[in-house]
Chains A and B, each alone.
Chain A
C-alpha cells in the first residue's frame, strides 16, 4: 500500500491572458515527492471551428493559433495541403519555403536564448530574479549584444515579410507551393541578412562558450541529476539523417541513441498514440510500440521528447559545416551521444541557430531561388493530407481530411509542446525531488521548476495573446487537512 499523502504543494503559474496553469506536488509520509501533476488550460473547439471550411484556408487560420510560431503552422498547413490536393511544389517553391522557415528559426531561437533561456546562465541561476532577463544579459555581455539581438530580429522579420507576404501572419504558402517568387534585389538583401546571421550565431556560441562552458558551476548544473532524464528522442531528418526543420522523415532514437524507428510523417498514427490521465484533459503522446508506462524514463517507457536537444540526438549530424563542427564539440564535451541533460537544450538551440543561418545562406545563394516557377497548380480531387515540420518547440503535425469539394471533414494537430507534456511533467518531478526533502520546501523550488520549464521553451496555450509579462508562479504548501502552511509567490499581482 502506498504511503498516505501528508502535504499538497501547488505551484500556480497564473496568467491573465494565457489562461491558468497549475502544478501540484504530492508528498509521501516521509515528506518526499511522490507525484507531480501538471495542468494547463487548453484552447477549446479548434476542430469544430475548422470543420466545414475550405481546406485552403488552413495556412491562414492555423497561423493564428499561435502568436509565437505562426510561421511553423503556416508551413505545416501548406505541406498538409500539398498532399491533400496531390500537388507537389516545384523545387524553387520548396526552397523558398525553407528559406522563409530558416529566417523564422533565426528569430525564434535568438529570442528564446537572449530573452528567456540565456539569462539563467549568462546572468546566472543564482542572480536576483530582477536581473535574470534580457536587460541583465545586455548588462553582462554589453550594449553591443543587445544591438545585435534587436537587429537580427529586425532584419529577419523583414525577410519573413518579403517571402511570406505579410509580417505577422504570412499568407504566401499555398497548396502546391508559393503564391509569389522573389526577385534578384530581394535575394541580395536576404543573402546579406543570412551572412550576418551566420556571424551572429557563431558569436552567440562564443558567448555560450566563454560564459557557460568555462564556468564549472554552470557545467555541473547542466550535468546534475535533477536535470537529467533518459527518454526517446524525435526529430525530422533528411536523406543523410541530418537535422532538417522543413522536411524529411521522422526519426526516433532510444535512450541508448540507437534508431528505434524512422517513418514518413503521414504514417504518424501507426507510431504515436495518446495517453489521457484522469485528472487532466491534456493528451500525452507516446510511442505506440513501447506503450505508456507512466511518468518514468528509460527504454521501457514510451515517453519521448521533441526539442532542439531531441533533434540533435535523433540525427547523425548537421547538414552544414560550421553547425556540424559545433555538433561534434557538443557531444565531445557532454560525454557522447545521446545527451540526456535537459539544460543542454539551450546549447543545442544555439547550434540549431547556426544551422538555420548557414542553411539560409545556402538557399539564398542557390541559383534556382529566384526562379518564377514556385507553384504546381492543383488539378486533382482533394482527399487527405499530413504535413510535418520541426517547430522550434518540437515536431509539429497537421492532418486534414476533406470531401471531394475540399471541405474539411477532419482536422487533427499535434503541436510542438504537446509531444513534451510527459517529459516536462517528469522534469518538474525531478526538479521537485531535488529541492524538497522531509517535507521541507527549499527556497530554490520556484527557480528550479522555472528553469526546467524554460529549457523546453514550452508553448502553454499555443494561442495568440498579448501583453506578455514574467511567468507568475505560486507555491502553496498544504497540510493533511488542506490548510495552507506555506505560500511562496513571484510575479503575482495582489
Chain B
C-alpha cells in the first residue's frame, strides 16, 4: 500500500507554509515509480484524519511554533507522541488524536500511531502575511525532504539541494 505525504500549512503566512513547500520539493525530486501520494492541505482534526483513510503510512510535514533560538531545527516524531509534544489547538474541530480514535472506532482503515510520522520545522514567523520564509526555515526544506526520502527508503531522482526555492514558492499551486 502507498504512503501518503501531506504538506500542512498556509503559504501566505510566512514560515507557516514550510510544510507545503517541502511537499512540493518532494514531488519534484521523487523518482517516477515511488509508491507515494503527495498532498498539500490546510486542515486539521477530522478532515486530516479523513485524508489518511486507506493508507498504511502517513508523513505529515508542518511548522512548529517555537522560541526564537530554535528556529530552523527539524524534528521528527510520531502521532503517539502528539499530545505531549504540541500545544496546537483549533477551536473548531477535534484534535488529531481524538479524530484518529473516532475514525478507528468507526472502522476506518487508518495507519497505527507509530506509522503517522510528523516531520516539522521549528518556526516563529507564522502570524504575518508574507510569501517570504525566514532564512533558517527556508534552509531546512531540503533537509526535511532528505529525511522523508530516508523514511520512504527511496533514492531521489534529483538532489533536493539542487532545486531552487523559486520553483516551488508560489502561494497557490493549482497543479
Contact = CB atoms under 8 A, between A and B. Distances in A.
Interface of A: 13-19, 41-46, 48-49, 60-61, 64-65, 67-68, 70, 111-112, 115-116, 133-135, 138, 143, 146-147, 150, 153-154, 157, 168-169, 171, 453-454, 457-461, 463-472, 491-493
B89 A49 contact: no
Given A16-B64, A67-B43, A469 B87 contact: yes
A154 B49 CA distance: 12
B92 A16 contact: no
B129 A45 contact: yes
Contacts of B174: 171
A468 B90 contact: yes
Given A16-B88, A43-B128, A64-B171, A138 B93 contact: no
Interface stretch (B26-34, B94-102, B135-143, B157-165): B94-102
B168 interface: no
A154 B64 CA distance: 28
20 contacts: A16-B65, A17-B62, A17-B126, A19-B65, A44-B128, A46-B129, A49-B12, A115-B46, A115-B92, A153-B50, A157-B47, A171-B174, A464-B9, A465-B44, A466-B88, A467-B86, A467-B118, A469-B83, A472-B89, A491-B87
B151 interface: no
A470 B89 contact: yes
Nearest to A137: B102
Interface string B14-58: 001001000000000000000000000111111110100000000
Task: In the A-B complex, list the 5 residue pairs whose CB atoms are closest, starting with the nearest.
Answer: A468-B90, A464-B10, A16-B87, A466-B8, A468-B44
Contacts of B87: 14-17, 469, 472, 491-493
B64 to A, nearest CB: 7
Contacts, number: 197
A168 B47 CA distance: 10
B129 A44 contact: yes
A367 to B, nearest CB: 33
B105 A49 contact: no
Given A61-B12, A67-B44, A135-B101, A169 B172 contact: yes
Given A49-B129, A464-B16, A16 B102 contact: no
A265 B13 CA distance: 29
Contacts of A16: 64-65, 86-89
A273 to B, nearest CB: 25
B130 interface: yes
B85 interface: yes
B44 A466 contact: yes
B42 A134 contact: no
A71 to B, nearest CB: 13
Nearest to A150: B106
A115 B42 contact: no
B63 interface: yes
Contacts of A459: 91-92
Given A134-B94, A169-B172, 17 more contacts: A16-B65, A43-B128, A60-B172, A67-B44, A67-B90, A133-B94, A146-B105, A464-B42, A465-B16, A466-B9, A466-B60, A467-B60, A468-B94, A470-B95, A472-B87, A492-B87, A493-B87
